[in-house]
């Protein structure tokens, strides 16, 4: 049997080109292997699909609108559409994945859920579905992130989750992920780990990409209605680990005429020493069970990324994105803290939409992608800005 290699589909062992795989200690092997053997079958079950689709519609609020942003379009002299993932229940795209994974966890017979979170959006989305399904929920969050995303910490606790601070290393997303993995090592039988991005050992990158793919599936239908073509010229999304970008790109990956633009956080500037622009600063290595592009020193020690946004300061990117960067299928740009903050003001004032700080990185490249007046540009508006209000107040955006 021969299959045509695609960007969408990793190999059986979870490789996208040279990136991916499952580099995990033996203590995790049975769990990850169980998931690998079962996820595709479970997700293909009609009963799973029915329950998943129903929850996406009635609980998450899908499909999310595709909104033509006329004032942004006028400013950048192109046709800008915003895919309104900020209107999902809990305020970001993250819930698409957690709804799917909680159903998967239940079918695997798991009773306890763990998760990592950076900005808190994935933690909230996990706490939400655990409340919905009556499952125990523990969320690991870096101490630094708990401080800068206080409302989300409170939301998780209100939803009944236990939030455990990760106090090692940079005390951010990377360290929260380490702690969640250590929890899974200690609780191998009853626990499912809901990873929030397209990172981690195979099958997680593929699993999360499939669950987020609903974003681009809807985009194609909505674009056909609104523009007469399923295909835009550009799809733009921010990338930390890369889950919203994976979802926004997924159903366009095999359409080479669609330019895919991934936007990373440059922090204080790509080469300032305070950045999270992994595709520029990273080289191949292993982080959290996956071979991917990763920020590290010459000894292979993982370095501490920086971004004002708590959802983008991850020292790696998902293996799919590393492959897209390597193969030239996606174009990677980066945006500084300052330019992202300007984009927050611009989107708020021109469209009446306050975006999340992560999302603002994607909005900040509209003048850099080379879109013409007749081009259609879809920006994945991955989350709303309520969680960032304290940061916006501190940065004195007014």
What are the residue numbers of the active site?
94, 116, 382
- Distance of alpha carbon 347 from alpha carbon 351, whole angstroms: 5
* Interaction of residue 188 with another protein, rule CB under 8 A: yes
Say if residues 315 and 344 touch (Cβ distance below 8 Å): no
- Distance of alpha carbon 272 from alpha carbon 161, whole angstroms: 37
Instruction: Out of 285, 338, 348, 397, point to the residue binding another protein (CB under 8 A).
Output: 285
* Interaction of residue 27 with another protein, rule CB under 8 A: yes
**70 contact partners, CB below 8 Å, separation of at least 6:** none
- Distance of alpha carbon 153 from alpha carbon 172, whole angstroms: 14
Say if residues 236 and 379 touch (Cβ distance below 8 Å): yes
Which residue, 13 or 349, is less far from another protein as judged by CB? 13
Which residue, 199 or 258, is less far from another protein as judged by CB? 199
* Interaction of residue 178 with another protein, rule CB under 8 A: yes
* Interaction of residue 317 with another protein, rule CB under 8 A: no
Which residue, 24 or 211, is less far from another protein as judged by CB? 24
Handedness of CA 170, 171, 177, 179 (dihedral sign): positive
Which residue, 168 or 229, is less far from another protein as judged by CB? 168
- Distance of alpha carbon 366 from alpha carbon 384, whole angstroms: 19
Q: Count residues binding another protein (CB under 8 A).
A: 34
Q: Tell me the per-residue interface mask from 332 to 371 with another protein, x by CB under 8 A, - otherwise.
A: ----------------------------------------
φ/ψ of residue 139, rounded to 5: -115, 125
Q: Tell me the per-residue interface mask from 287 to 316 with another protein, x by CB under 8 A, - otherwise.
A: xxx----x-x-xxxxx--------------
Burial (CB < 10 A; 0-12, 13-18, 19+), residue 348, is: middle
Supply the minimum distance, in Å, between the C-beta of residue 309 and another protein.
Answer: 22
Query: What is the bridge-based pairing of β-strands 259-267 and 234-238?
Result: parallel
Say if residues 80 and 69 touch (Cβ distance below 8 Å): yes
Which residue, 63 or 285, is less far from another protein as judged by CB? 285
Instruction: Out of 5, 30, 370, 372, point to the residue binding another protein (CB under 8 A).
Output: 30
Structure tokens at 40: 């595709």
Instruction: Out of 185, 280, 345, 350, point to the residue binding another protein (CB under 8 A).
Output: 185
Instruction: Out of 36, 93, 148, 174, point to the residue binding another protein (CB under 8 A).
Output: 174
Please state whether 354 falls in left (phi above 0), alpha (psi between -120 and 50) or beta: beta
Which parts of this chain interact with another protein (CB under 8 A)? 13, 21-27, 29-31, 168-169, 174, 178, 181-182, 185-189, 285-289, 294, 296, 298-302
């Amino acid at each position: 049997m021969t299959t045509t290699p695609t960007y969408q589909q990793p190999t059986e062992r979870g490789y996208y080109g040279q990136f991916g795989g499952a580099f995990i200690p033996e203590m995790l092997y049975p769990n990850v292997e169980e998931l690998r053997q079962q996820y595709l079958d479970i997700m293909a079950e009609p009963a799973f699909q029915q329950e998943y689709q129903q929850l996406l519609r009635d609980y998450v609020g899908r499909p999310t609108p595709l909104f033509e942003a006329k004032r942004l379009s006028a400013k950048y002299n192109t046709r800008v559409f915003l895919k309104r993932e900020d209107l999902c229940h809990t305020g970001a795209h993250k819930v698409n994945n957690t709804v799917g994974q909680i159903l998967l966890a239940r079918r695997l017979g798991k009773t306890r859920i763990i998760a990592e979170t950076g900005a808190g959006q994935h933690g909230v989305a996990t706490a939400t579905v655990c409340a919905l399904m009556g499952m125990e929920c523990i969320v690991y969050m870096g101490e630094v992130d708990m401080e800068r995303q206080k409302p989300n910490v409170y939301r998780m606790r209100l939803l009944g989750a236990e939030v455990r601070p990760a106090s090692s290393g940079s005390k951010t997303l990377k360290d929260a992920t380490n702690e969640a993995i250590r929890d899974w090592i200690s609780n191998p039988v009853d626990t499912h780990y809901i990873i929030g991005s397209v990172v981690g050992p195979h099958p997680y990158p593929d699993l999360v990409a499939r669950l987020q793919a609903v974003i681009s599936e809807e985009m194609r239908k909505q674009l056909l209605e609104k523009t007469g073509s399923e295909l835009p010229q550009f799809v733009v999304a921010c990338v930390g680990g890369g889950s919203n970008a994976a979802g926004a790109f997924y159903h366009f990956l095999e359409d080479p005429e669609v330019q895919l633009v991934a936007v990373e956080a440059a922090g204080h500037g790509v080469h300032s020493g305070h950045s999270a622009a992994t595709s520029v600063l990273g080289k191949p290595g292993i982080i959290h069970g996956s071979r991917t592009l990763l920020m590290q020193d010459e000894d292979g020690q993982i370095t501490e990324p920086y971004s004002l946004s708590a959802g983008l300061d991850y020292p790696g990117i998902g293996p799919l994105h590393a492959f897209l960067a390597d193969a030239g299928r996606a174009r990677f740009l980066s945006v500084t803290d300052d330019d992202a903050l300007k984009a927050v003001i611009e989107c708020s004032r021109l469209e009446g939409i306050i975006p999340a700080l992560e999302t603002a990185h994607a909005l900040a490249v509209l003048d850099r992608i080379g879109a013409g007046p007749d081009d259609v540009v879809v920006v994945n508006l991955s989350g709303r800005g309520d969680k960032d209000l304290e940061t916006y107040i501190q940065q004195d955006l007014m």
